[in-house]
Structure 1
């Protein structure tokens, strides 16, 4: 951006700058300098006009001004989150997504934050970001935290923990912690955190801690689940209300999903004829339906 501002100023001074001038001024290659000029024309909509007799550029429209090129700290955080998330993607069109991550990184200050301890967020919930900021600082300083969180049953729990690292799996973000009370390692979803207090008490990492493990919690899946669903008639398209269809035969289709609870809710609200597999998903859906019927009967 500094090079672009310099180039813009030289044009306004009537100096007719070109890629050679940029390369010489900033000690970069002519090819990289030319990319700066192309970026101005394509992305910043600069009305650049090459003047052959001056071997340089001018503005065809003298009223043109550069758009606002600076980002706030919060905007840079958003780009960091997205860049980190895209770097974790290793599925379809992976190379394209990795290039996007590289481009986003170029617009952020990599010296300001350690991305190994930064958490990407697609849903930029202010409360989750605040929790992330506190935990990031605690990880960096190796200090303990007091945490209030919701367990899997929805009950509020309180514990003193050592935050170790962040992990991300699709639409869910987790912090790996060592629980001082339970003396075990586990993971907690960030959207289940209610309150965090960063303490001044430091902790030393034990060589027995498994930094790649997830403690007593169920291991997080990288690959999606696949459900075999039968509809009343053939379905057109490559997705079923947002869920990707990986195989289709007449009215039967194989649908990928990652969040079990969300997909169960989808099955309860969307018409279908038969759920052929997996068997465990059929059992979970049946149990949820039985529970709903039992609660309705209690009200009679």
Structure 2
């Protein structure tokens, strides 16, 4: 049962003159007394309910009988997302950190849990200092319609060009700058992490929002996931295997999606599984890593015996 259902019930109890309290709320919805008290504090501090505790009846009433609960509520999932954002902003230690942390405090007011659920897994976003620098420079270039000299590397090799940045966007947890070299209708996305060098130029380009919109109709490039076929000791009971999506499950064999082979291999080192059935290239890569580790351990053991 969501927190808003509990608040509605509490509101109805007050309007019926039953003077509800945290104990009654906890018993009604089979939650802890502490959680029930947080619900009441949420009504008081965030929804601005004019709650007044009446000692004679050991419960609450409304000091202002004209009060009505707001019509706009957040779902539990939305509250968890806000809690996560508040957590991220609280740990922001860069420019204007005081203002950012005030935003974190405001976001926390709209959540009702003191801590994130222990078993709730949230995405982790990484941002390298160099990418943050490119992001800041490109933000200024886009705002001032200034050209940049850009040097980047991708699967086609190295590229150097004078580039007109149009907008910054993101796809699959990767940041891109979209722009063009000469023709506004031939816009290209460049991944920020592929940029080696970036310089703002004094030369400006003409801003034409209509051209930007019409010129960028193709979707951003989407990386399709790799799929590993893995046999487990027993069937998996959820759609995720320790954070990795299970595309399909047949008995004890699962098709698991992943994007970064090196990160997935590190996960395989520590996780419990029976057999890696496919793909072959991942099996060979895992076997090679295992042989390298075994060889290093053997060298260390032999060196220790010689020292002894």
Give the TM bin, normalised by the shorter chain: 0.3 to 0.5
Structure index of larger Rg: 2
TM-score when normalising by structure 2: 0.45
TM-score when normalising by structure 1: 0.46
